[in-house]
Amino acid sequence: MGLRCGIVGLPNVGKTTIFNAITHVGAEAASFPFSTVTPNVGVVAVPEARLERLHRLVETQKVISTELEVVDIAGLPSGASRGEGLGNKFLGHIKEVDALLHVVRCFTDKDLGKGPEPVDDIEVCETELALADLDTVERNLDRVTKRARTGDKDMVEQREVFSKVRDLLSDGQQVRSMELMPRDRELLRPLFLLTAKPVLYVANVAETEAASGSPHSQAVEDYARTHTAESLSLAGQIECELAELEPEEAQVFLEDLGLEDAGLARLIRRAYHLLGLRTFFTVGPDEIRAWTFRAGSKAPVAAGVIHTDFEKKFIRAQVHSIEDLEEFGTEAAVKGAGKLRVEGKDYEMQDGDVVNFLIGS
């Protein structure tokens, strides 16, 4: 679907370590300082245990995961909103992503001098984003105000919305936390406001705190809870080491650390849901495959994810759950038990649906 998450944060917080782990570059490559104008881009498989459940029930030639694009953007310097350092380049790249993974340092590093100050770091970064948004809104407000004087109704409407958002940004609010009507958000969408993007704060903790967390990661969680955002904690260096191991070795390593699963698996799944994405499955002898759709999509739109013609030629969908397949063993048995539903064009797809779309000629 072409949706992208951008990994952002201040310099030296471990962004690139986490990016390298996500894309399996490895611990050695991640050990060097990294800062660049050009972002690194990786496409990663979304961890999906339900694919294995389906594979245990259905013989198939291949199993295909859904994917997510992740972008590692240069560390945001203080003053970026004024074009200092790599500011303009950074802000240009970040406008292109759909959601933010904001990495926050919660580990001690003697080479960095002072200890972690996660809330202060978050506020420095978000102040820069808000100032950049304020500049964007003010420039567009000037533009529409001039045209609104002619009586253009669209320009008058935009002027009112932009004025409201300018005032709220000036008061220190983030756009994502504002009470805006759907029409307001529609008018703001072409501005690509940075603080309107959904955000997941990633507390990067020390290796010894991977399982338990720390007061610093708790501060990040508390901040997220009160700022219309989500959070999780992980140890970036451990994730790099895990990425180097075979699955069986990685599981032993996790157990030794007292962890149930890898932090990156949780991170990718949370990022996927942060974008409002959900998964449906198709099952057959050639492949079992996970497909991505936006929450709230109707069945014809989901069919169009497989092939664009399928949306226009959609007739109906045969739908059942993984649990039904596990209970009855085969799709034929599911149908015989009356659990195979036939849904029409108005059916709203649900996460985890197993679907067979019937398409006209």
Over the stretch 50-96, which tens digit does the pLDDT of each residue have? 999 999 999 999 999 998 888 888 766 565 555 554 445 667 778 88
Question: Can you give the pLDDT at residue 248?
Answer: 86
According to DSSP, the residues that pair with 8 across neighbouring strands are 102
CA angle 276, 324, 261 (to 5 degrees): 50
Tell me the mean pLDDT in the region 259-287: 90
pLDDT for 32 beyond 70:
no
Please compute Rg for the chain using Cα positions: 23
CATH code of domain 296-359: 3.10.20.30
Tell me the mean pLDDT in the region 128-137: 91
Nearest CA to 21 out of 341, 261, 242, 260 is that of 242
Phi-psi region of 355 (alpha: psi -120 to 50; beta: other; left: phi over 0): beta
CA angle 140, 294, 39 (to 5 degrees): 60
CATH architecture entry for 128-194 = Orthogonal Bundle (1.10)
Place of tokens 């790599």: 86
What is the pTM (predicted TM-score) of this model? 0.83
Question: Can you give the pLDDT at residue 30?
Answer: 35
3-state secondary structure of 282: strand
Nearest CA to 239 out of 43, 20, 10 is that of 20
Tell me the mean pLDDT in the region 146-174: 92
C-beta atoms surrounding 233 within 10 Å: 25
pLDDT for 260 beyond 80:
no
Read off the tokens for 114: 């002072």
Q: Under CATH, what is the fold of the domain 4-47+67-114+197-274? A: Rossmann fold (3.40.50)
Question: Can you give the pLDDT at residue 28?
Answer: 37
Length of the chain: 361
In the chain, where the domains are located = 4-47+67-114+197-274, 128-194, 296-359
**Dist CA 60 CA 288 (whole Å):** 7
